[in-house]
Amino acid sequence: MVIGRTLVALSLLIAVVAPAAPAAATGTAAPGSAAPGKCSPGRGTASIAETWGQRSLNLPEVWRLTRGAGVTVAVVDTGLDTSHPQLTRGVAEDVTNTGARDCLGHGTQVAGLIAAARKKGSPFAGVAPEARLISVKYTDEERGQVGLMALAIVKAVQLGADVINVSTQASDNTDLRNAVAYALAKNVVVVAAAGNVNKEDGSPVPAYPASYPGVISVGSSGPNGRRADSSNPVTPVTVLAPGTQITSTWPGGLYNKENEDDEGTSFASAYVAGVAALVRARHPLLTREEVARRISQTANGGVGAGTGSGVVNPLLAVSAIFTSDAVALAPPEPAPLPHDAIRPAPPEDTASITIAMRIALIALAAAVLFTLGSVMIPLGRRRGWRAGSLENES
């Protein structure tokens, strides 16, 4: 296992220094586009309302059990506005050499859905509001380089991420494949967007890194619990999560209003990354495979292509007791004794017992006679008894 991980790391280090080809990197239509040398994510709003997505996840009930404290979530995206009042605990890193600012707003949106802190008077908070956020910026444009995405994933692992969210879609690439393998080998939960249907490009194709084995792939659902029309049905999907009519944090200390453009598997992936953080906080000894299994097996059930196990259920994912959990909590059963540990009793020897009882009775009778004789004979002599004499001498 150690040798295998070393080989993965070495191959990754070799891969990421090679030039990477451009690929479609955004899993949703980002609300803005930054021109070279200009950082303009667009206008936000100061007034928001609770969305159907938040209500459907029943987060206040989950927060009675855990809020994600002690877990680090890395967001591989377009950057993060750490000056936002609900994102001040976030740490912004960059692998693009353009600075850690979020000039598109997409990374700030995704990060807010995952772990925006609760704020008095605000109806909005992230799924895991006490989780630690790390933003690793890999692109400053709507289309980024796969090589930088891979490098950002590696950096997130090195920064101590327990969960990595990749709300982007790209083509299969050796760099990306190696980066994901490296993260999984380090027991990191990797969550990725299943991708959106692009009608202009024709038929949908599998999105990566969501299609790699071991990655929690997330599709988008609407208020009716069904897969949204924009959600890619070709990518293998683990679960669905709310992905339409999204409201979240926005650069400048603001929020974005829900509208038709703000939908996609990017945001659905963020919700599930937050759930993964809650599970890891509540069950810190679980492996990344066990975390993924909990999220999948506690979902609400899916029907049709691209739905996986259905809509994620945070409360069940955190609180359900699996058979393996019950065994771990119960005292271990003692090991069964080997069949020859206790020798069987020998068969009863009735003949010997009968003989022994007869000898014992004879011995007892002899002892009684001897005792009687030792008492009666001297007594008779004192009274003048003679053997063979029946006359009464008195």
Question: Which residues does the annotation mark as catalytic?
Answer: 77, 106, 266
The tokens of 89 are what?
């605990």
At position 149, the amino acid (one-letter code) is M
At residue 85, the 3 state secondary structure works out as coil
Is-contact 227 233, C-beta < 8 A? yes
Burial class of 340 by CB neighbour count within 10 A (0 to 12, 13 to 18, 19+)? exposed
Cα gap 137→156, rounded to integer Å: 10
Q: Provide the β-strand partners of residue 92.
A: 135
* Structure-token match 């910026």, residue found: 137
Cα gap 7→15, rounded to integer Å: 12
C-alpha dist (Å) from residue 92 to 49, 70, 76, 202: 27, 18, 10, 36
Nearest to 152 by CA among 94, 206, 228, 70: 94
C-alpha dist (Å) from residue 339 to 263, 348, 352: 65, 22, 30
Nearest to 20 by CA among 166, 145, 182: 145
**DSSP letters of 262-281?**
S-SHHHHHHHHHHHHHHHHH
The tokens of 307 are what?
């739905």
At residue 217, the 3 state secondary structure works out as strand
Residue 115: DSSP 8-state: H
Sheet architecture: strand order including 72-77:
91-94, 132-137, 72-77, 163-166, 189-193, 216-221, 239-242
* Structure-token match 């703000």, residue found: 262
Q: For residue 45, count other CB atoms closer than 10 A to its CB.
A: 11
